[in-house]
Chains A and B, each alone.
Chain A
Amino acid sequence: MPKEILLQAAVQGLQMGAIYALIALSMTLVFSVGGLLNFAHGDFMALAMYGAMVDYEAFKIDAYAIAPIMFALFFLLGVLLFRRVVQPVLAAGVLAGAQLTLGLVFVQENLILVLFGGDYVNVPTVLSNRNLVVPPLVMPWPLLVGSAFAAVLAIALYVVLMRTDFGRQIRAIAQNRDAAALMGIRIGRIQAIAFGVGIGLLGFTGPVIVAQFTLMPTMGLDLTLIALIVMVTGGLGNFLGSMIGGLIIGVAESLGSLFYGGTVGAMIPYAILVFVLLFRPHGLLGEH
Chain B
Amino acid sequence: MREKHRSTRGAWPWLLFLVVALMPLLMSSSGINTAIITMLFVYLCVAWNIVGGIAGQFCIGHSLFLAAGAYTSTLLAIHFGVTPWIGMFAGAAVATLIGMFIAWLSFRRALPPLSFALVTLALAMLGYLAISSIDVLGASRGLTLPVRGTPAIYQFKNDVTYYVVILVHVIGAVGLSAWLYHTKTGLYLRALRDNERAAHAIGVPVLKYKMLAMGTSAALTALGGTFYAQYLQYVEPRTFASIHIVIEIILFTVVGGVGTMWGPVVGPLMLVPAGEWLRHELGSGLPGLHLLAYGLLLVIVIRFAPDGFLGALERGRQAWRARRPAAEASPQ
Closest chain A residue to B298, Cβ basis: A103
Contacting pair A113 B291 (CB below 8 A): yes
Closest chain B residue to A279, Cβ basis: B109
Contacting pair A277 B251 (CB below 8 A): no
Contact residues, A74-122 vs B (CB, 8 A): 85, 88-89, 92-96, 98-100, 102-107, 109-111, 113-114, 117-118
Contacting pair A274 B119 (CB below 8 A): yes
Closest 7 CB pairs of A and B: A113-B288, A92-B306, A106-B295, A107-B295, A110-B292, A96-B306, A110-B291
CA distance A63 to B243 in the complex (A): 31
Contacting pair B292 A107 (CB below 8 A): yes
Query: Per a CB cutoff under 8 Å, which of A92, A93, A225 touches B125?
Result: A225
Q: Given A229-B122, A278-B105, decide whether A103 and B288 contact each other with a Cβ distance below 8 A.
A: no
Number of A-B contacts (CB under 8 A): 122
CA distance A110 to B130 in the complex (A): 27
* Chain A contact surface mostly: helix
Contacting pair A106 B121 (CB below 8 A): no
Contacting pair A236 B130 (CB below 8 A): no
Interface flag for B112 (CB, 8 Å): yes
Q: Given A89-B302, A267-B129, decide whether A110 and B288 contact each other with a Cβ distance below 8 A.
A: yes
Tell me the A residues contacting B by CB distance below 8 Å.
Answer: 37, 85, 88-89, 92-96, 98-100, 102-107, 109-111, 113-114, 117-118, 217, 221, 225, 228-229, 232, 236, 263, 266-267, 270-271, 273-274, 277-279, 281
Chain A nearest CB from B8 CB (Å) reads 21
* Interface size, B (range): 35 or more
Contacting pair A270 B288 (CB below 8 A): no
Contacting pair A89 B303 (CB below 8 A): yes
Give the chain B neighbours of A236 by CB distance below 8 A: 114-115
CA distance A228 to B125 in the complex (A): 13
Give the chain B neighbours of A281 by CB distance below 8 A: 109-112, 115
CA distance A164 to B307 in the complex (A): 38
Query: Per a CB cutoff under 8 Å, which of B58, B129, B250, B291 touches A266?
Result: B129
Interface flag for B15 (CB, 8 Å): no
Chain B nearest CB from A25 CB (Å) reads 18
CA distance A109 to B294 in the complex (A): 12
Closest chain A residue to B296, Cβ basis: A107
